[in-house]
Structure 1
């Protein structure tokens, strides 16, 4: 069950030394509270009309925990019976390699010639995954934002805290720019996938 909008928020640090009257926000208001602008790695975060944006309460900034966590590659789980939001931060490392043997990764790479088609494998090393999950997905996004190849989905239904996983792909790097390999986890069947790691391959 999804958390109510206000319960998907978390209080951050106090922004002011006093709680005196503050000038109205230049970003507008949300249910009588001043809205604040939210940047993550320099990118402004946009919110739909039905979503609760960041705002101020008595000098404290309140942020949407799901969007903040997902931007930081964390997982969020809501327990309605206990009214609890849990945030998990698995450690996920991605590696791409052209030649792989049973005991070694021989040719990792991060740059490719524009226009070349390459057979390679994506390796994911996952640890400190401290919550059950339903499945995970590996996808490769082209510079234009489309899928460079069909994503690979693995229904795991697991509780392994640490594991290795690899899958082969064949990609024609037709565009110049950054191709982004994404590893995403689905906590429950039917829920959204959350990206927890990214690896860039530069086509030049």
Structure 2
């Protein structure tokens, strides 16, 4: 009986040791990821030649709609085409002098939207990250696009905005997927103040 216990214990130890050695054989390396010439924090890892990137990092850098379904372990990524034009006095612009107050609007053309949304908004961030709401709509508004509509245009109301600092002001177009509680950035446009 004692011999049997010793053999079983030896067999279990051998199996566990073999498993630990096998797991240690996996080659794991840190992966540096660059997006638009800037390195992403905690970029990713490379395991046995396969790249693994964080969904959070991808979502923040790729300007798309990421939907995660924990129950089915499925991630759906949607990348609508959203083109924005900044206009003042019906003329396009992308540069403004520092310290000038400009009355402008944003014209957006949206196409290839393959997911239903319940709201969208347009914001501007100053060079220090302070965000200002420009305009937006939700599915209760009469001019909100119909459910399933893939293509639509949107013109914001005029905004009188002071470009008090030198730097990049970022216009962002946000969408809230139907059934979700938060907005996701789907497009960005830069206004430079000098």
* Structure 1, gaps ≥5 residues long: 1-20, 24-32, 48-52, 100-105
Paired residues of 1:141 and 1:181 also in contact (CA < 8 A)? yes
Paired residues of 2:122 and 2:133 also in contact (CA < 8 A)? no
Q: Which whole-Å CA distance do the structure 1 matches of 2:105 and 2:183 have between them?
A: 21
Mapping for residues 1-204 of structure 1, pairs under 5 Å: 33-47=28-42, 54-99=44-89, 106-147=90-131, 149-156=132-139, 158-167=147-156, 168-188=158-178, 191-204=181-194
Q: Which whole-Å CA distance do the structure 2 matches of 1:65 and 1:182 have between them?
A: 20
Q: Which one has a larger percent helix, Structure 1 or Structure 2?
A: 2
Cα shift at 1:154: 1.7
* Structure 2, gaps ≥5 residues long: 1-24, 141-146
TM-score, normalised to structure 2, is: 0.74
Name the count of aligned residue pairs.
163
Cα shift at 1:83: 2.9
Cα shift at 1:84: 2.0
SS where residue 35 of structure 1 aligns?
Answer: strand
Q: CA-atom RMSD, angstroms?
A: 2.2
SS where residue 197 of structure 1 aligns?
Answer: strand
Cα shift at 1:133: 1.1
Paired residues of 1:136 and 1:156 also in contact (CA < 8 A)? no
Q: Which whole-Å CA distance do the structure 2 matches of 1:150 and 1:74 have between them?
A: 20
Q: Which whole-Å CA distance do the structure 2 matches of 1:35 and 1:151 have between them?
A: 40
TM-score, normalised to structure 1, is: 0.71
Cα shift at 1:22: 7.9
Paired residues of 2:167 and 2:193 also in contact (CA < 8 A)? yes
Q: Which whole-Å CA distance do the structure 2 matches of 1:189 and 1:170 have between them?
A: 33
1:26: which partner in 2? none
